[in-house]
Amino acid sequence: MPDWFTDSYLGIEVRQYIGLGALVAVTIVTYAAISTALRIYVRVRFEAADHAFWHGERARLGRSLWALAVAITLLLGFPALDFPQVAEDIVEQLASLLGAVALVMLGFRGVDIFTDVLARRAALTDSRFDDQLVPLLNTALKILTLIIGMLFILGNLGVNVTSLVAGLGLGGLAVALAAQDTFRNLLGGVTIFADRPFQVGDWVVVGSIEGTVEHVGFRSSRVRTFYNSVVTVPNARIVDTHVDNMGLRQWRRYRATLGLAYHTTPDQVQAFVEGVRAVIRANPEMRKDYYIVEFTEFGASSLEVLLYCFIDAPDWNAELRTRHVLNLDIMRLAEELGVEFAFPTQTLHVASMPGQPAEVPEAPARDQLGETVERFAPAGAGGQRTDQPITAGYDNTPDGT
């Protein structure tokens, strides 16, 4: 070895400077090797459509990979440079700490990548339970990674991890007493996950909150209301109150009162009622085995027809589209039959003008009144019979009434 190898500058020998330069070169080579191996693995393991995703992830992993490469190089190569023992101990501690932090960061990115792949696969399935499971799995794995990383770091710093874990018993009791609400929310999240009263995307009513579930977490769940605001509800509150899951309805009820103008004739009313029944039966999104369309009441300003039916729709948007089509068909039916829909009105009848006698309609004779009543009696033919419909097949509801 040449004598100048042992020359010292700033307390460091030339050979040690050369060794440090070699460590830098080895670090660069190590990083390049890890990056190349990852790139080759992605090309072989995944389809071309996923390459762009992995290219972006590799860029995000760059800092963590650099830190890991530096830590590995220092741990393996620095002792060979014959620095003082104190310096070696300090570098070893720092390298171990840097490596642990890098591994935790890589673990976090690995969890994100893993759950992102699961989320994309879950989006291709019909079930929404797996979509709800992915965020919970992401949080649980990150917490586990952080705990393991912290224990590893504390162990490298000389902390007795076994005694620390044992001492957490009494401290954990104190923390539990101080954070009862937090633990109640965590248990509520586990209960929601186990019982599945709702899933992401369901339309729910929780107390006074109504909207679509966007996220179910360990501590709370988020509901987007129909005002487009987001309400964060603690899981403990959800578990302790009633939850009305509108998204699990087998059928969606549609109830409306159709008001017809008072000048509508009885035959027109009967034809309109039977026509609405025909419209319901013709619509593929309507329930066919149970519906009610009947002339039920003489209203203050209209002849009221009750429409009571059920829609087969997976969500609110589909329900509204079906209502839209049904209402338009009813409007077209009324137009074809010459039936007008009523609106609140008041009619003023002037009995007589000033200076003119009042015109009082002549009442039928007593005998004529009696004959009219008899025409509507069981033996007469003046009333509407269930066997006298306007059409054939739409004269009654599905239960035969």
Let me know how long the chain is: 401
Residues 327, 235 share a domain: no
Give the other-Cβ count within 10 Å of 89's Cβ. Answer: 11
Q: Looking at the predicted structure, is the pLDDT value of residue 174 above 60?
A: no
Closest CA relative to residue 275, chosen from 231, 227, 329? 329
Residues 104, 13 share a domain: yes
Helical residues (DSSP H) of 196-265, grouped into ranges: 235-240
Residues 154, 7 share a domain: yes
What CATH number is given to the structural domain containing 234? 2.30.30.60
Largest CA distance in the chain: 145
Average pLDDT, the chain: 77
Q: Of 178, 200, 217, at which residue does a domain stop?
A: 178
- Asked whether the CA dihedral 149, 151, 155, 159 is positive or negative, the reply is positive
Q: Of 152, 178, 204, at which residue does a domain stop?
A: 178
In a domain, 352, yes or no: no
In a domain, 149, yes or no: yes
CA distances from 110 to 71, 134, 217, 323 (A): 19, 14, 20, 47
In a domain, 63, yes or no: yes
Residues 31, 171 share a domain: yes
- Are 229 and 238 in contact, with CB atoms under 8 Å apart? no
Residues 260, 241 share a domain: no
Residues 336, 240 share a domain: no
Ramachandran angles phi, psi of 294, nearest 5°: -145, 150
In a domain, 355, yes or no: no
Residues 129, 63 share a domain: yes
Residues 29, 143 share a domain: yes
Give the integer Cα–Cα distance in Å for 246 and 225. Answer: 14
- Say how many domains are in the chain: 3
**pLDDT (tens digit per residue) in 295-327:** 999 998 899 999 999 998 877 788 899 999 999
In a domain, 87, yes or no: yes
Residues 214, 164 share a domain: no
Q: Which residue has the tokens 């068909």?
A: 329
In a domain, 243, yes or no: yes
In a domain, 130, yes or no: yes
Residues 231, 277 share a domain: no
Residues 51, 27 share a domain: yes
CA distances from 193 to 34, 126, 216, 217 (A): 39, 18, 8, 9
In a domain, 365, yes or no: no
CB-hemisphere CA count at 13 Å for 333?
A: 22
pLDDT tier at 140, thresholds 50, 70, 90: confident
Given this model, what pLDDT does residue 227 score? 87
pLDDT tier at 80, thresholds 50, 70, 90: low
Residue type, 213: V
Q: Of 209, 226, 248, at which residue does a domain stop?
A: 248
The fraction of the chain above a pLDDT of 90, given in percent, is: 17
Residue range of the domain that includes 159? 3-178
What are the percentages of helix, strand and coil residues in the chain, rounded to 5? 55, 15, 30
Give the integer Cα–Cα distance in Å for 26 and 100. Answer: 20
**pLDDT (tens digit per residue) in 340-355:** 998 877 777 676 677 6
Give the integer Cα–Cα distance in Å for 303 and 213. Answer: 42
Residues 398, 274 share a domain: yes
